Amino acid sequence: MTDEKRVFSGMQPTGVAQVGNLIGAFSNWVGMQDDYRTIYCVVDLHAMSSPYDPVELSESRLRLAKMIIAAGVDPERSLLYYQSEVPQHSELYWIIGTLAGVGQLQRMTQYKEKSDKAGQSFGVLAYPVLQAADILIHKAHAVPVGDDQTQHLELTRDLAERFNHRYGDVFPIPERITPEIGARVMSLQEPSMKMSKSDPNSKATVFLTDTTDEIVKKVKSAVTDPGTEVAYDWEQKPGISNLLEIFSHFSGRSIDALVAEYGTGGYGVFKMAVAEAVADGIKPIREAYEGMSDEEVSRVMSDSADRAKVSADVTLTEVREAVGLT
């Protein structure tokens, strides 16, 4: 692992982690530990931007931390901590927030979507500014993001550039890292929508805590497309294309190879093969998750937060000097 290049990524502790989180986030987080100084965060302050239950928030952030470790993120190699336990995030959030335009924030796609559900609160409006602070507090050089987070990363880049232009070069401008496959895993029941750990339809989502039988039932009931040919075509066959991307991840085989083998065999045989690959891939993660104690994970997160504070304070000291708060 190099000290020169830093990667930051975070996830909200809502619901139960699912296959989309594994493919689009956790697997990439694990792989990047070899090439970067990796910093990962359970962003519990973000979860407060919409109405929530305090008891559930406490439980869900611990649940997510356990799952991240079970998926292979090594706290000895990466920083992994709760956002709320590193107060430098919040201070930088205010400082760079003074550079953000209200109109720019109101034009954010997620603001328009979330304000319809959670109301037009300050938390929903300023959500991407806190997200920018999360990235910049460790001077991250790169951020792994899915298609739906591209706009937020662009805002982060804009704020970093405005800060550097006004106060001097403090922040690197973070680049985007997007996986070729699985950047956006879709719902099994509605392939036009992203798979969500908070989806009320349990058949739409494969959770990382699901048993083999549950996984098989969900994949076999996945919405498919007209015809019987297994083909990779997001326009004509979004359901099958989604399953192919999931299958490719868990099997380690290319989509072309999977299409060549299952293209004319019918949906039934194909979906059973997908289900078996997913179940085999999730089993060791589920077992590792179930084998961890809450106390062990809490200690790991606390120790990592202490190390994260040291890293964040280096940046914040430089920021405070730049803006005249010394």
The active-site residue out of 66, 139, 197, 218 is: 197
Q: Is residue 192 part of a domain?
A: no
The reply to whether 153 and 169 lie within a common domain is yes
The active-site residue out of 114, 218, 237, 271 is: 114
> With 50 as the cut, is the pLDDT of residue 2 above it?
no
The reply to whether 240 and 311 lie within a common domain is no
The reply to whether 40 and 139 lie within a common domain is yes
| Residue 57: domain span | 6-178+293-323
The reply to whether 117 and 218 lie within a common domain is no
C-alpha 4/C-alpha 53 separation (Å) is 40
Write down the mean pLDDT value for the chain.
92
- Going by C-alpha positions, the residue among 256, 209, 249, 254 that lies closest to residue 25 is 249
Sequence-ordered list of residues with C-beta below 8 angstroms from that of 62, at least 6 positions apart, any chain: 294, 297, 298
- For residues 156-183, average pLDDT: 89
Please provide the DSSP assignment of 112-170 as one string. HHHHHHH-S-HHHHHHHHHHHHHHHTTT-SEEE--GGGHHHHHHHHHHHHHHHHHH-S-
> With 50 as the cut, is the pLDDT of residue 198 above it?
yes
C-alpha 227/C-alpha 199 separation (Å) is 28
> With 70 as the cut, is the pLDDT of residue 3 above it?
no
Q: Work out the pLDDT band at 202, boundaries 50, 70, 90.
A: confident
Write the CATH number for 239: 1.10.240.10
220 a catalytic residue: no
The active-site residue out of 112, 117, 139, 194 is: 194
- Going by C-alpha positions, the residue among 167, 101, 90 that lies closest to residue 131 is 90
Number of H helices, E strands in the chain: 13, 5
pLDDT digits (tens, 9 = 90+) for 87-123: 999 999 999 999 999 988 888 877 767 766 656 788 8
The reply to whether 149 and 235 lie within a common domain is no
> With 80 as the cut, is the pLDDT of residue 15 above it?
yes
Write the CATH number for 128: 3.40.50.620
Q: Which residues pair with 40 in a beta bridge?
A: 9, 80
Q: Is residue 194 part of a domain?
A: no
- Tokens 């497309």: give the residue: 225
283 a catalytic residue: no
The reply to whether 265 and 298 lie within a common domain is no
Q: Is residue 186 part of a domain?
A: no
Please give the model's pTM, rounded to 2 decimal places: 0.91
C-alpha 104/C-alpha 237 separation (Å) is 36
> With 60 as the cut, is the pLDDT of residue 308 above it?
yes
> With 70 as the cut, is the pLDDT of residue 155 above it?
yes
> With 90 as the cut, is the pLDDT of residue 247 above it?
yes
pLDDT digits (tens, 9 = 90+) for 36-86: 999 999 999 999 988 899 999 999 999 999 999 999 999 999 999 999 999
Q: Residue 1's pLDDT is what?
A: 41
The reply to whether 262 and 281 lie within a common domain is yes
237 a catalytic residue: no
Beta strands in 51-180 (DSSP E): 79-82, 142-144, 175-177
Overall domain count for the chain: 2
- For residues 274-302, average pLDDT: 97
